[in-house]
Amino acid sequence: MTSPSDSRDLQAQLGSLTTEAFRPELADIDRLPTLELARLMNGEDTSVPTAVAERLPEIAAAIDAVAERMARGGRLLYAGAGTAGRLGVLDASECPPTFNTDPSQVVGLIAGGPKALVTSIEGAEDSAELARTDLDALALTRDDTVVGISASGRTPYAVSAVEHARAQGALTVGLSCNADSPLAAAAEHGIEIVVGPELLTGSTRLKAGTAQKLVLNMLSTITMIRLGKTYGNLMVDVRASNDKLRARSRRIVALATGAEDAEVERALAATDGEVKPAILTILADVDGPTAARLLADSDGHLRAALAAAAR
């Protein structure tokens, strides 16, 4: 149970945060027509990409550091509570179908565990020990990266995750939406996307949540580009696990090679439906096993494998 003095201290902390600021000019928005409310909210959201753009150098530096470690076999681990934690889990869960990563390569940790994805787990975000326990269960290595995510930049679970990971020698990134946050200070790479006060005071699932989603998109997507998971802007490591993705695989092979449908089908059949080696069999005129070997020798980078085949 929080004491009255502790509660007052916490209120004072929240009151000092940009994301928690009250905007008197919006005090009567509940009286506005729905269309006007929608326009107002949409206008608020347009400021988010600009705020992200101001931190692109920090984002790029973090991505290069993450990619370097993942190329050595490291993992990308997100840690957050509430909305921030759910965004991390969402980004991690989309990597296997998009980039054919093993589910263990990009992992989202949320305070309170999987149940917290759909139900509020009271007190979990305040537990620094829980963050340490969750990370210890994953047996961190020096090649791993832990990204703490917190709109306020002060959530104990996220801050503790970064502090613990850094003490273990892992790379650390702190993503928040307030300047001079404890989370950014704890991490090697602090990324602070200051989006300003929310439309609804303290509802950081709005602009702050959008900003965090945009940055996480960059972290995972550009890292995967650096790891050779794409060929140009084509997702050549897509996992064809359903009819839509199988159709997408055929289309990607066709776009990358200019081959006709019959040749695309033969290439995919020769490579067990894997897009990247299928492209290589067509462009380098090699068989499936040779394509697989060239890709293995090139650490999965299709352009490097094509260059090796041409020598």
> Which of 119, 106, 112 is closest to 81 using CA atoms?
112
Fold of 243-310: Helicase, Ruva Protein; domain 3 (1.10.8)
How many Å apart are CA 85 and CA 88, to the nearest integer? 5
Burial (Cβ within 10 Å: 0-12, 13-18, ≥19) of residue 92: buried
Nearest to residue 293, comparing CAs of 309, 272, 307, 310?
A: 309
- CATH superfamily placement of domain 48-226: Glucose-6-phosphate isomerase like protein; domain 1 (3.40.50.10490)
User: 195-221, pLDDT tens digit by residue?
Assistant: 988 878 878 889 999 999 999 999 999
Q: Is the pLDDT of residue 12 over 70?
A: no
* All CATH 1.10.8.1080 domain ranges in the chain, comma separated: 243-310
Burial of 178 (0-12, 13-18, 19+ CB in 10 A): buried
> Range(s) for CATH 3.40.50.10490 in the chain?
48-226
Q: Is the torsion defined by CA of 121, 211, 217, 42 positive or negative?
A: positive
Concatenate the DSSP letters of all residues of 206-221 into one string: THHHHHHHHHHHHHHH
**Dist. CA 291–CA 281, nearest whole Å:** 6
Model confidence at 289: pLDDT above 70? yes
- The rounded distance, in Å, linking the Cα atoms of 111 and 124 is 5
**pLDDT band for position 48 (50/70/90)?**
very high
pLDDT band at residue 159 under the 50/70/90 scheme: very high
- Is there a contact between 204 and 189 (Cβ–Cβ < 8 Å)? no
The average confidence (pLDDT) of the chain is: 91
- Residue 280's nearest CA partner among 260, 261, 301, 262 is 301
* Residue with more model confidence, 202 or 184: 184
The structure's pTM equals 0.89
Strands 145-150 and 76-80: parallel
Mean predicted confidence (pLDDT) in 17-27? 77
- The pLDDT value given to residue 290: 96
With 0-12 / 13-18 / 19 or more C-beta atoms within 10 angstroms meaning exposed / middle / buried, residue 118 is: exposed
What pLDDT is recorded for position 126?
Answer: 80
CA distance linking residue 217 with residue 32, whole number of Å = 34
Catalytic site residues?
A: 94, 125
